Amino acid sequence: MTSNPFLTRSTSPAALPPFAEIRDEHYEPAFEHGMREQRATVDRIVADPAPPTFANTLEALELSGPVLERVAAAFFTLASAHATAFVRELEERIAPRLAAHSDAIRLSAPLFARVDAVHRARDLLEPEQRRLVERTHTEMRLAGAALDSTAKAELTALNERLSVLSARFDAALVADTNELALVVHEEAELAGLAADTVSAAREAARARGQDGWVLPLVLPTGQPALADLSDAGTRARLMAASRSRGTRGGQHDTRAVLLEIVRLRARKARLLGFPHHAALVAADETAGSTEAVAALLDRIVPPAVRNADREQDELGGTVTAADWAFLAEGRRRAAFDVDLAALRPYFEAERVLRDGVFATAGHLYGVTFTERADLVGYHPDVRVFETRDDDGLLGLYLLDLYTRDEKRGGAWMNSLVERAELTGERHAVVVNNLNVPKPDAGQPTLLTLDSVETLFHEFGHALHGLFASVRYPKLAGTNVPRDFVEFPSQVNEMWVLHPEVLPGYARHIDTGEPLPPDVADRLRATATFGQGFATTEYLAATVLDQAWHRLSAEEADAVTDVTAFEAEALARAGFDLPAVPPRYSSTYFAHVFAGGYSAAYYAYIWSEVLDADTVAWFEEHGGLTRENGDRFRRLVLGRGNAEDPIAAYRRFRGRDADIAPLLARRGLA
């Protein structure tokens, strides 16, 4: 074990995991060592004869498990971004052991008694200490620390099984998504796609050892190519492939796993004293209750559906889900003289990254990014950038841009190292993952506008992770409620078309000429175009998430047909537009059945209330200035979870968030 690189802190800059030294055989022994080490530390805390204090209980708990933290951060980065057969197999084996280990700590009655004693005297502590005590106490209470031994045993078994099922859902979905990638044998069937997109499809086929062209599936229902493919048959095949994920029977069918997850979550919620899983989740979010979530949805669902219905009429009335994007793009071109596909030569990935994403962060926050080719990521596609501000090194930013079969769909940010003064980690290491098709060797990567927005969005998460500067690990980085964590990323996404940002990066790949100002103006004018569809498909997925997770244990047991339940839930909520399917149907809803967004997919629209109001604040105070950026960083991004996030927002904005800017942005006013 002495040669295992996880056993000691990395000597690389910012403690970047030494991926060049890490081998498959290092992971499981490091997990085992890390769990033993942390459990021994917790045993010492519990056995301490001294009265419980913040130092001997909370701080000691925060310092436990450094090896486990290191190996878990590296391994679960691989599990999402480079899940080889080895990684998948180990994930399914290690997940229940990690769940049991976590429960042994969170459900420990003597440990909870010590935490509870400190919690009762929390008013004597400093603010960040008090926040840590409150968060630890709440998490242990909601985890079941106050239950009797019989209930705890049942809860532990439920958690172990749920961890296995979540990994199984993810593995099945990734495999089915890869199998269902659309194979095209005649180039004419790809008519309408840009040349570089066709080239990337040819490269994808070659990478799989196939003839022809391959259009890999992205995670949402709507596939990017649908807006440009002029062949209706190809569009129909692509949409059918997307919507059939997890439903074809066999080992990659996710329906049975999904139903078991729903039933076990409902049983777990009842054990913990909640009527359903959604109530358990909401209790620890900024929303506070499912009633608050329902109130927001009730306000925005009806106008969103009305807008989508109006848009369908404008497209000709009889529209299929496969044809909507193509027809809508045609109408956009006619109404605004904007062809999004034709604009892709203005969105070359390297320029977008350096002159858009990085430059905007530099302008607002005074940070710089320098590529470190000498530092190795977990895959050859991963690029590493050193990040600095006026005070020196902030950390490292890793970018993993391209799609591959071992990567799950979608886009996300995660942390490999979080800044926490207590543990001596003064620099963060954050990762952004996207799924952009990789072009032929030597060809530039041209992004769609949607991919540009995604890159800015995920980079907002990265900035949150880089800037958060706290003392305690539990409060570090993006460890904030799910319905707040999307707020910083959505703010950053709003700069994509900003007049001070767009001209810097939107330049033609061949001529270097900037995007013509009149085209930029027309792009901004399209901001509310198609918002009926976009808002409705998102809200439909949100309603599905809530419907599955507001079932009682008895109601969950009674559901046997996933398709029928989904159709009934959508109809009941007023989603009666077959041409506007949910952004994610249940069988490929990775956010909630394989990720951390169960009963919390509403977080995006909830956070967007804060985001839209924040953008309004910037506009009211002079725009994208360093002074405004520093204020946002100091009062919000830099705080992590060291104070209540809504209180932090209130200090930044001077009041609670106003929903009006969101309604205007979404065309719902």
CA separation for the pair 149, 475 (Å, rounded)? 30
Which regions of 189-261 does DSSP assign to beta strands (E)? 213-215
Q: At residue 269, what is the residue type? A: A
Is 260 a residue of the active site? no
Which residue do the tokens 């725009």 mark? 623
The CA-CA-CA angle for residues 195, 199, 203, to 5°, reads 170
Q: Return contacts of 642-646, CB within 8 angstroms, 24+ apart.
A: 642/127, 642/128, 642/131, 642/470, 642/471, 642/472, 642/475, 643/127, 643/128, 643/131, 644/131, 645/286, 645/480, 645/481, 645/484, 645/487, 646/286, 646/484
Spatial CB neighbours of 185, under 8 Å, sequence gap ≥ 6? 211, 212, 213
CA separation for the pair 300, 392 (Å, rounded): 45
Q: Which residue has the tokens 């496969």?
A: 322
In three-state secondary structure terms, 310 is: helix
Q: How far is 195 from 628, CA to CA, in rounded Å?
A: 41
In angstroms, rounded to a whole number, what is the distance separating the alpha carbons of residues 538 and 542? Answer: 6
Q: Is 432 within 8 Å of 451 (Cβ atoms)?
A: no
User: What tokens does 410 get?
Assistant: 């979608």
Distance separating alpha carbons of residues 611 and 489, to the nearest angstrom: 9
Burial of 314 (0-12, 13-18, 19+ CB in 10 A): middle
> Considering 128, 386, 458, 486, which one is annotated as catalytic?
458
Beta pairing class for 182-184 and 213-215: antiparallel
Active-site annotation, residues: 458
